[in-house]
Amino acid sequence: MTETPPPHWHGHRDRLRSKLLNRGAEALDDYEVLEVILMAFIPRRDVKPIAKALLARFGGLSAILAAPAADLVKVDGIGETVAAYFRAISEMHSRAGREEIKAREVISSWTVLVAYVRREMQHEPREQFRVLFLDRKNQLILDEVMGRGTVDHAPVYPREVARRALEVQASSLVLVHNHPSGDPQPSRADIDITRGLIDALEPFDINVHDHLIVGTKGVVSLRSSGLI
């Protein structure tokens, strides 16, 4: 009997693993990185079309990691197991980012902070207002969501922020929120709420270092922009 030849993607998987191990992950294209992950969970199928379909649907690796499981499984070939694994990778990435900024003085590690908040928030479909509570050494005590809202508004209450800052014994804060539109330019309302928070915290000698606005097009600092 004539043996059935192995499918074409068997050799491709071996070559891809060899490329990763011998040349490093940076030698892989984005779709190849996805292929390596998918290979572990989809053993009997060519995963390159699935990897390319993920990129086509979501637009990039960061968007894939930010995508809800319910959206991931809409891509042909992605089941609940793979979707759960992507969510786990995303959470691991987030926790690693928090570990990195917790180990440093936030104010002197601004590039790390901006990368962290952008990774966490740029693909959020609704506005989210977060507060980074810092100690006297400007190290992170807590990163907490203080308001969730609609596509263009997330309510935040200065009294609640002040109460939480006192509870965790914060000496200063960094405010962060996202613009789901992708444009991080501050609105008049953004400036007004920032000034309201500064005024509410001043009697407690709690400083607001900055307010960062995050979008897919970048991150804007209100302080660097001269708006606070």
CATH of the domain at 89: 1.10.150.20
- Using pLDDT thresholds of 50, 70 and 90, give the confidence band for residue 5: low
67/115 same-domain check: no
End of a domain among 64, 94, 124? 94
83/120 same-domain check: no
| Stretch 124-137: mean pLDDT | 93
pLDDT for the residue 61 = 93
Residue of 69 and 9 predicted with greater confidence:
69
Report yes or no on 99 lying in a domain.
Answer: no
Report yes or no on 215 lying in a domain.
Answer: yes
pLDDT for the residue 73 = 96
pLDDT for the residue 110 = 84
Torsion-angle region of 74 (φ positive above 0: left; ψ -120 to 50: alpha; else: beta) = alpha
17/61 same-domain check: yes
User: Over 60: is that where the pLDDT of 124 sits?
Assistant: yes
pLDDT for the residue 201 = 95
User: Over 70: is that where the pLDDT of 10 sits?
Assistant: no
| Stretch 76-101: mean pLDDT | 90
Residue of 40 and 105 predicted with greater confidence:
40
79/170 same-domain check: no
| Stretch 170-197: mean pLDDT | 94
For a pLDDT cut of 70, what percent of the chain falls above it?
A: 93
User: Over 90: is that where the pLDDT of 98 sits?
Assistant: no
116/216 same-domain check: yes
Report yes or no on 119 lying in a domain.
Answer: yes
What's the domain count of the chain? Answer: 2
Give the CA distances from residue 69 to residues 87, 118, 132, 154, 223, in Å, rounded to whole numbers and listed in that order: 7, 20, 27, 24, 36
87/149 same-domain check: no
Q: Which residue has tokens 């992605």?
A: 78
64/130 same-domain check: no
CATH classification at residue 119: 3.40.140.10
Report yes or no on 17 lying in a domain.
Answer: yes
210/115 same-domain check: yes
Q: Show the domain range for 48.
A: 8-94
114/89 same-domain check: no
End of a domain among 46, 61, 94? 94
pLDDT for the residue 6 = 63
pLDDT for the residue 8 = 64
Average model confidence (pLDDT) across the chain: 89
pLDDT tens digits, one per residue of 143-178: 999 988 765 666 788 899 999 999 999 999 999 999
User: Over 60: is that where the pLDDT of 78 sits?
Assistant: yes
Among the ranges given (114-118, 131-135, 162-166), the one the predictor scored with the smallest mean pLDDT: 114-118
Report yes or no on 22 lying in a domain.
Answer: yes
Report yes or no on 112 lying in a domain.
Answer: yes
User: Over 90: is that where the pLDDT of 197 sits?
Assistant: yes
- Using pLDDT thresholds of 50, 70 and 90, give the confidence band for residue 3: low
161/117 same-domain check: yes
End of a domain among 94, 121, 154? 94
66/130 same-domain check: no
112/196 same-domain check: yes
Report yes or no on 227 lying in a domain.
Answer: no
